[in-house]
Structure 1
Amino acid sequence: MTFAIIETGGKQLKVEPGRYYDVDRLADDPDTKLSLNQVLLVHDGNEATVGQPLVKGATVEVTVMQHRRDRKIIVYKMQPKKKTRKKRGHRQELTRLMVDAIHLDGKALGAASTKKTKKSKASDEAVAVEAEVVAD
């Protein structure tokens, strides 16, 4: 299992290729590809490379999927016997990132697999049959 520990938004996050993660809002547009170079650790299944503090030559390729807001958190403050009550809500602004690949010294350690589903496989066969019919 290939994974990396990255730092973004002042937080550390364990990421794996092919999975998505919600991080604090980034200023990039959706469908933008980014290269994160704040990599603290890279594990390729056999050995781990630990940085001091960062791993040299390590990057994580991500794609910005969407911007969203987290669920609402209610902050309620009350002082007993004083008739003082404050109710506030907060929704954190987030960016959803899809991890495409983890690179170490220019070599891709883990890349998101592009498995074909049954539906796409069937549609590929249908296209091939149509191509044969057109060719005849």
Structure 2
Amino acid sequence: MYAVIRTGGKQYKVQENQILKVEKLAGTEGSEIEFNDVLLYSDGETITPGNPVVENAVVRAHVVEQGRDKKQLVFKYKRRKGYRKMQGHRQHYTQIKIASISV
């Protein structure tokens, strides 16, 4: 059994007991989050695509961790001009564990 959900402008294929990192969501560690944007649902035999979402489908997850990723370096450079610029960026994320998929 799996589902495709949409959160943070991205789509994720999820299964029960799966742990994944998504864009930052509101909630503290241990709290429960519901995803209602279920784009596709499969129970192993039949696949139910949404139009645009599957009706009455809910994916429940628990927040495992709130954190920040490793630093990504952004380096801008223009040749022969003496222009160099370096910046760093650390993206916030929420690590979740999928508890249940129900329709």
TM-score by length of 1: 0.74
Larger Rg: 1
The answer to which structure has the higher helix fraction is 1
Cα RMSD, aligned residues only:
0.7
Aligned length: 103
**Offset at 1:101?**
0.7
Measured in 1, the distance between the counterparts of 2:36 and 2:18 equals 18
Identity of aligned residues (%): 38
| 1:84 paired residue number | 83
Measured in 1, the distance between the counterparts of 2:36 and 2:42 equals 15
Secondary structure at the counterpart of residue 13 of structure 1 = strand
* 5+ residue gaps, structure 2: none
| 1:125 paired residue number | none
**Offset at 1:62?**
0.3
| 1:34 paired residue number | 33
The answer to which structure has the higher strand fraction is 2
| 2:56 paired residue number | 57
Measured in 2, the distance between the counterparts of 1:100 and 1:35 equals 10
TM-score by length of 2: 0.97
**Offset at 1:81?**
1.1
Name segments (4+ residues, structure 1) moved above 3 Å.
none
* 5+ residue gaps, structure 1: 105-136
